[in-house]
């Protein structure tokens, strides 16, 4: 998977790479008149209501998933904020929760591991990567972007994104510019936001309900400078709470990020940016906005796990496993009831027994009765019926259900190696099983690359470029498109599936070559090396270009020809020397061929 970043343009006076921008980003707040603010506010409120209505059919499903799989996620009421009460009362068997955690951890380590490079920058023209200046610049930018991700909260946010994806099928992460860490990420949860797609099905608008404290609202929107406040943007209620010192009260706000109707590609003003972002206070002044600003890139990353038809929101493994998960909860409850009835069965008490008589069923317990009533201890209280639950069979059935739940979350992929019985299994079988699972996960990886990682890298690159922290771009890369290649563990494993075909082909040709060496002419060995190197994500600098290889082979052929010519001349000289030695030892006292030759040449040879 690859994406094209914006064309690289050398910034004037670009500084060497460093992880912190030298200056805070310029403000992007846009001033609007009360009349324009009223018009924009009405448009946002109308569209927000329409998007929430469109989303309504998904909310009930999300709520069910949240109840039994991920209780701490999902906000479906405006009062769902900072609630510390127990939310997992419907979770008796936590198999699904643990399987979801394994899936999120597997995606984190296999797709965007902080411990190893998971993307690589290159160009559309393969020959440029062999240029020393170009390769060094790309390597420097890669290191800089990895440092940005490590120093910011990107990886923490990504793990939350993977949990949201596995549970609700749709996730949302906002990427903002940050003076200290270049970027800052914020994850949302299901029920907080609504999205809308463009004509290509890509999310390009996000509306969210958000709750902020009075102090946060004042710091973010009212305080224009230390000690200077613009109270006109908020309601009187917010100002009064602030003045009374009630700074921890909650204020409901709405944020809307959508394509800017006033976008002008030739303008660098925030008013004409590609996307606009506005904040408004729910129930606030009708002619005021908290903030109106612009973004050159869509700051919301909204990946979906799987999309069916023209659906806006995605489906998830938790949705697929929801029936099994609810069945597990029911079976756990019924098993507990059966065991409880076996330990404390319902009692059959004679009518002659006093109603207030106490039966002590505890170990070593003593129950008193009146023998004059003619009753006995056994007759006074006996089990109503004998309960002998078949716990073993129930456990076996529940384990089958648990396996289905784990399979829905691809747990057999993440734990395959550790769960396999090591005896009697070959490495070939392990590879075959792994490839089978990876092929099933392939569409999800492609969607993650397209909807999550591509826009994340694009936006980070653009923010770093605007901050002036990229190294100076060499002339050879001026105006060239930069390509992103993913080299994570799972991406390489996906590509490595193709290696088996190449290996089988090479092995087959090698066997035929033992009978007929001419069959090697059919195999392009250079191309095989290139295909394998690309499949396993080998660094491009390890593989020489075809031109360089041709030059090396030409030089080698010339050296071999010169060596052969020198050997031939040496052999001829040895023959001449041996002939001269033979002639010097020939008897010239009598008549023979040599004396005849000397006579013809006048004694000169």
DSSP letter assigned to residue 480: P
Residue 517 has a pLDDT of 83
Element (H, E) at 276: strand 275-281
Residue 230, token pair as written in the block: 């613009």
Mean pLDDT of 43-48: 95
Element (H, E) at 465: helix 454-467
SS3 state at 553: helix
Q: Parse the chain into domains and list their residue ranges.
A: 34-320+441-467, 547-600
Give the separation between CA 315 and CA 170, rounded to whole angstroms. Answer: 7
CA nearest neighbour of 167 among 354, 319, 368: 319
Q: How confident is the model at residue 419 (pLDDT cuts 50, 70, 90)?
A: very low
Residue 568 has a pLDDT of 83
Of the listed ranges 35-49, 361-375, 526-540, 566-580, the one predicted with least confidence: 361-375
Integer angstrom CA distances of residue 310 from 160, 450, 537: 26, 17, 34
Q: How confident is the model at residue 89 (pLDDT cuts 50, 70, 90)?
A: confident
Element (H, E) at 395: helix 391-408
Give the separation between CA 225 and CA 415, rounded to whole angstroms. Answer: 54
Strand partners, 482: 123
SS3 state at 292: strand
For strand 182-188 and strand 228-229, is the pairing parallel, antiparallel, or unpaired? Answer: unpaired
Neighbours of 420 (CB within 10 A): 13
Residue 143, token pair as written in the block: 């290191």
Evaluate if pTM is beyond 0.85: no
**Averaged confidence pLDDT in the chain:** 80
Q: How confident is the model at residue 421 (pLDDT cuts 50, 70, 90)?
A: very low
Of the listed ranges 262-266, 403-407, 432-436, the one predicted with least confidence: 432-436
Interior angle at CA 307, CA 535 and CA 66, nearest 5: 110
258-297 pLDDT, tens per residue?
999 989 988 888 888 999 999 999 989 999 999 999 999 9
pLDDT over 60 (residue 25):
no
478-499 pLDDT, tens per residue?
777 888 888 887 777 766 666 7
């Amino acid at each position: 998977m690859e994406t094209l970043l914006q064309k690289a343009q050398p910034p004037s006076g670009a500084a060497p790479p460093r992880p912190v921008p030298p200056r805070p980003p310029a403000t992007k707040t846009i001033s609007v008149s009360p009349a324009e603010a009223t018009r924009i506010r009405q448009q946002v409120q109308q569209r927000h209501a329409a998007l929430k209505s469109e989303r309504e059919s998904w909310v009930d499903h999300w709520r069910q998933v949240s109840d039994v799989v991920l209780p701490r996620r999902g906000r479906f009421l405006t009062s769902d904020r900072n609630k510390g009460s127990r939310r997992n009362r419907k979770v008796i068997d936590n198999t699904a929760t643990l399987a979801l955690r394994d899936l999120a951890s597997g995606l984190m380590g296999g797709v965007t591991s902080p411990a190893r490079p998971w993307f690589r920058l290159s160009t559309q023209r393969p020959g440029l990567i062999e240029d020393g200046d170009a390769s060094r610049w790309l390597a420097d930018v890669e290191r800089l972007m990895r440092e940005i991700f490590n120093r910011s909260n990107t990886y923490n946010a990504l793990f939350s994104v993977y949990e949201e994806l596995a549970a609700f099928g749709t996730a949302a992460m906002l990427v903002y510019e940050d003076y200290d860490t270049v970027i800052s990420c914020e994850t949302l949860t299901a029920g907080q936001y609504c999205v809308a797609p463009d004509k290509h099905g890509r999310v390009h608008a996000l509306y969210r309900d958000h709750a902020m404290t009075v102090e946060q609202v004042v710091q973010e929107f009212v305080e224009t400078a230390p000690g200077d406040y613009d109270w006109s943007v908020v309601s009187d209620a917010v100002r009064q709470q602030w003045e009374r010192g009630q700074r921890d009260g909650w204020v409901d706000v709405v944020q809307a990020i959508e394509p800017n109707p006033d976008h002008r590609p030739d303008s660098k003003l925030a008013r004409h940016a590609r996307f606009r972002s506005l904040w408004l206070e729910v129930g606030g002044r009708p002619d005021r906005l908290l903030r109106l600003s612009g973004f050159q890139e869509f700051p919301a990353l909204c990946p979906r796990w799987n999309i069916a038809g023209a659906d806006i929101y995605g489906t998830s493994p938790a949705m697929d496993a929801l029936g099994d998960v609810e069945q597990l909860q029911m079976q756990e409850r019924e098993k507990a009831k059966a065991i409880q009835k076996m330990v404390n069965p319902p009692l059959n008490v004679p009518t002659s027994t006093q109603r207030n008589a106490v039966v002590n069923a505890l170990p070593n317990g003593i129950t008193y009765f009146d023998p004059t009533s003619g009753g006995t201890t056994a007759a006074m209280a006996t089990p109503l019926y004998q309960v002998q639950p078949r716990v073993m069979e129930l456990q076996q059935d529940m384990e089958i259900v648990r396996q289905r739940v784990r399979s829905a979350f691809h747990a057999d992929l993440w734990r395959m190696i550790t769960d396999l019985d090591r005896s009697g299994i070959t490495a070939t079988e392990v590879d075959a099983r792994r490839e089978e699972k990876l092929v099933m996960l392939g569409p999800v990886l492609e969607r993650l690359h397209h909807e999550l990682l591509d826009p994340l890298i694009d936006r980070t690159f653009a923010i770093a470029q605007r901050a002036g922290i990229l190294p100076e771009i060499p002339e050879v890369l001026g105006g060239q498109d930069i390509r992103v290649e993913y080299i994570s563990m799972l991406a390489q494993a996906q590509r490595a599936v193709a290696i088996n075909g190449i290996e089988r082909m090479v092995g087959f040709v090698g066997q035929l070559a033992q009978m007929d060496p001419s069959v090697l002419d059919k195999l392009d060995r250079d191309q095989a090396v290139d295909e394998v190197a690309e499949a396993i994500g080998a660094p491009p600098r390890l593989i020489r270009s075809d031109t360089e290889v041709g030059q090396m082979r030409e030089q080698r052929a010339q050296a071999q020809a010169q060596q052969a010519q020198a050997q031939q001349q040496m052999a001829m000289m040895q023959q001449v020397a041996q002939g001269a030695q033979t002639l010097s030892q020939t008897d010239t006292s009598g008549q023979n061929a040599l004396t005849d030759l000397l006579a013809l040449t006048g004694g000169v040879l």
